[in-house]
Amino acid sequence: MEPRTIEELLALYELEPALKDVFVEGPTDRAFVESVLRYAGLVNVQVNEIELVDIPDPVLARIATCSGKRQRVIALAIELERASASDLMRRVCCVADADEEAGRTPAVVGALLLYTDFTSVQLYAYSPDVLQRYLDLVVLGFPLRAEATLRLMEPVLREMALSRRVNDTLRLATAPVDATDDCEISDAAIVCDTARFTLRFLSKAAATHRRDEYLAEKRRLEALLPGDPRFWVHGEDFVHLLYWIIVRRRGAGSGRTVSRDLLGKALLLAVPFDVVVTKPLFVELRRRLS
């Protein structure tokens, strides 16, 4: 299917006043938001992935210096608001991951723009109840309770989250490194060699000479992290580390867990929609699109 232009969308909204759209970043976001809205009775709302819309470079450049899916969702929201001859607030919503802005006022705001309640959709599954449901029904016989598992994960997830944030603030411009390569798991703890993790990260960024600067910035940012991990845990880190723990404590054989690629989706299946619909994002979606 050829991506629609913004001009085509605007014409469509003029011709079909009953049309209601939500635009999200990717397929997992689409499936989750669509399922929650259907649960809430909003069956006439179309949820779309951002790749279905052509976002011209000049439009994107107004709000971002890079071209990721999050930036494209934000750019679409701002451009539709700017270019539409009519008020689209009750008909169109663009939902972007809050990312590192979770829990605080985002840098870009707009009438058609909403953000996830936590860093990403995946963090709606970051709860003892949701994880316990998955461990009970899928993993079977996992030796740790969900609450203990999340406690094990939190220090490593914090290290991973901080490396991402320092990467941004120091403009190191490198991809994350896998912290599990520096971790060992025992009966009741994950031991992470943070010094080795830091060295590998800085080596990848060709910035080992900036180690002291990295550590100072990490300490500064750590002091700013909110108390609720859902406001700083990266969704991919959460899924990756959880899979690593399950495989090491239970094995990767048939029936013990789903594949790494499917784990994030499987966790979202365990999220209770009656709880999710009370979160601010979905309260606002229901208010606008009902």
Length of the chain equals: 290
Q: Crossing angle for the helix pair 260-269 and 235-250, nearest 10 degrees?
A: 100
pLDDT tens string, the chain, 290 residues long: the values are 789 999 999 999 999 999 999 999 999 999 999 999 999 999 999 999 999 999 999 999 988 767 799 999 999 999 999 999 999 999 999 999 999 999 999 999 999 999 999 999 999 999 999 999 999 998 888 889 999 999 999 999 999 999 999 999 999 999 999 999 999 998 778 999 999 999 999 999 999 999 999 999 999 999 999 999 999 999 999 999 999 999 988 866 656 677 888 999 999 999 999 999 999 999 999 999 99
Token digits for 75?
A: 């750019």
C-beta of residue 169 within 8 angstroms of C-beta of residue 221: yes
CA-based diameter of the chain, in Å?
A: 62
Count the neighbouring beta carbons within 10 Å of the beta carbon of residue 216: 12
Q: How far apart are alpha carbons 283 and 261 in whole angstroms?
A: 30
- Domain locations in the chain? 4-116+276-289, 126-257
Count the neighbouring beta carbons within 10 Å of the beta carbon of residue 12: 12
